[in-house]
Amino acid sequence: MAVLDPNEIFFTAFEPKQQNRFILYMDGIPAYIIKGVNAVTLTQDTVVLNHINVQRFVKGKSKWGEIQMTLFDPITPSGAQAVMEWVRLHHESVTGIDGYSDFYKKDLTLDILGPVGDIVSEWIIKGAIITNANFGDYSWDNESAAQNIQLTVQPDYCILNF
């Protein structure tokens, strides 16, 4: 019979990470206009190995999920203008020219902060490209809502530093 470890059955104090303590750094977009961001996601496909009348599974391709974020759109500096400068590195609407991936792929840094502002966790989001940019809605009926931008990026891969 196994002996229980006291650390497994008694309460141990801990400090949980809080959802509102983060800073996302993107080149060309001020960190203070980033209102919210989804966490990093990973999907692992499987490969089926058929053998007689049984199936076994091994890991297939890994895919890092899209990351959605919400940005404030201040009057100055314009959040929409900052996003469009990155979009124009992907594709220039006026000329119809697409850009090189060396220019439009960006590395982002998502720092998770502790209660005193220290960095307790850091994600490096590598090779992010914009897959969707929604510059919000305007309405005569809504006089008290701040304008937001919804941005979706697809990373090549992500690294959890600590």
Quickly state the pLDDT bin for 8 (edges 50, 70, 90).
confident
Structure tokens at 31: 């960190």
Query: What does the mean pLDDT of the chain come to?
Result: 95
Distance separating alpha carbons of residues 86 and 93, to the nearest angstrom: 13
DSSP 74-142: -TTTTHHHHHHHHHHHHEETTTTEEPPHHHH-EEEEEEEE-TTS-EEEEEEEEEEEEEEEE-----TT-
Quickly state the pLDDT bin for 9 (edges 50, 70, 90).
confident
Q: What is the pLDDT of residues 131-160, one digit of tens each?
A: 999 999 999 988 888 999 999 999 999 999
Is a pLDDT exceeding 90 seen at residue 23? yes
